Each structure stands twice: as C-alpha cells, then as structure tokens.
Structure 1
Amino acid sequence: MGTLQYGSSLTEIRISDHLLAHLKAVMVTRMRRSESFTLSWVDREGGAEKHSTVWMNPSIPLRFTFETIVPPPLDHELLEDLMTSSYQVTGIVVPASDASE
C-alpha cells in the first residue's frame, strides 16, 4: 500500500500501489491542464467507516509514495475509466477496498 499525501496538513490516504500509479497518471494529466476535480474515499477511523472528499487543485501540495520501487504496469482501460470519472460530478471515487486514511 502506497500513500497519497494532500494539502498543507498532508492528509494521508493509503492506496494500493497499483491504483495509486493509475491515479498519479490521471491527476498529473489533469493538473498539467490546470484542471481541478474531486477525489473521494472511505476513511476507517476507530472502527467506523466515513466517506471523505477533497478538492484536487494544482496549487495544493500533492505527494505520491509507493511501497514498491518498480512501478506497476499501467492498464489503459483503468486509466480511461479514472479519467472519465474525474470529469463527472462525483469525481474520482476510490473503492473502499483500495483506500484508508
């Protein structure tokens, strides 16, 4: 499990390296274009599950940390799905099985 750190408080979201590599590709593409979007995931704090959403903006610090040294291969279909969802009202939604804070 890698981590995505976001914002000045560096909110840390644990995400599988496989999904994180795909999110990185999509997020960097969107941010290069100066485009903002939302990212949502499920927090698992104190045994309770909570839904969280952040506004992803190119001006906010973002850090990707992978558990593995060799990046996982990218799946073109997953990249397309994530990119398409990033343009939807709901934004990118990380499946509960792939993320935790």
Structure 2
Amino acid sequence: MGSLIYGAPAIEVSFDDRTLAHLELLIGAKLRRRESFMLSWRDSTEVGDGRSSAWIDNGIPMFFRYSGSRTPLIDKEWLEELVVQAGSNRGLQLGDDPATEQLVRAKDNSVKRKDHPAR
C-alpha cells in the first residue's frame, strides 16, 4: 500500500500502488492546467469505514509514496474514466480498480467477469 500525503498539517491516505499511480498521473495533469477538483474515496475499516473528500489544488502540498519499487502498469481506459469524473461537477469518486474486481454472478447463476476491455 502506498500513500498520498496531502496538506499541512498533512493527512496520509493509503491506496494500493496501482491506484496511487493513476491518481498521480491524473492529479499532475489537472494541476498543470490549474484545474482544481474534489477527490473522494472510501475509508478503510481501520479509520472508520466511512468516506472522505479532499479539495485538490495547486496551493496545497502533496507527496506520493509507493510501497513497491516497480512502476505499476497504467490502464489508459481507466485513467480516461478518472479524468472525466474529476472534471464533473461531482468530482472524482474513486472506486475500486477495475482490474481487481471480483467475479460476479450473472442472472443465470453462471460465473462471469465484469466486462472491461482494457483488462
């Protein structure tokens, strides 16, 4: 698990390295264009299992810390979905990485993967 360390005083939010890599690319692109946005995520059970949000802005310090030494693979389709969400009035509502979604049961009780062509 990597961390996004944000603000002063700093808060540290844990994300898996792959999700954090996508966030780093998204945030870097948005802030280079001076586009602030709201980022929301679901909290882990260790901190209450609720939801949190942060206003992402150029004037607020942030640091990305990865737990692994390898650069995670980037899913361009998922990154594009995140960019669209971040540009919406609601902001980015970060969910699970589509590559790690569990098997789902179809209506006929057969087991299928959720369709996501980039995986």
Q: What range describes the TM-score normalised by the shorter chain of this pair?
A: 0.7 to 0.9
Instruction: Give the secondary-structure state (helix, strand or coil) at the position aligned to 2:58.
Output: coil
Counterpart in 2 of 1:56?
56
TM-score by length of 1: 0.87
Letter in 1 for 2:69: I
Moved more, 83-92 or 44-53: 44-53
In the alignment, which residue of structure 2 is the partner of 1:77? 77
SS in 1 for 2:49: strand
Q: Which protein has the bigger strand share?
A: 1
Rg comparison, structure with higher value: 2
TM-score in terms of structure 2 length: 0.74
Count of residue pairs brought into register by the alignment: 97
Aligned to 2:27: 27
Given the superposition, is the C-alpha separation of residues 46 and 3 from structure 1 closer, same or farther in structure 2, using an over 3 Å criterion?
Answer: closer
Distance (whole Å) between structure 1 residues aligned to residue 49 and residue 65 of structure 2 = 24
Equivalent position of 1:36 in the other structure:
36
- The alpha carbon displacement at 1:96 in A equals 6.5
Confirm whether residue 95 of structure 1 aligns to residue 114 of structure 2.
no
Aligned-pair distance for 1:12?
Answer: 0.7
Structure 1 regions of 5+ residues with no counterpart? Answer: none
* TM-aligned CA deviation for residue 70 of structure 1: 1.3
Instruction: Identify the residue that residue 17 of structure 1 maps to in structure 2.
Output: 17
Distance verdict in 2 for CA 1:73–1:60, change over 3 Å: same
More relative contact order, 1 or 2 (CA 8 Å, 6+ apart):
1
Q: The residue matched to 1:31 in structure 2 has which SS? A: helix
Amino acid at match of 1:22: H
Shift of 1:42: 1.9
Partners of 2:7 and 2:48 in 1: CA distance? 24
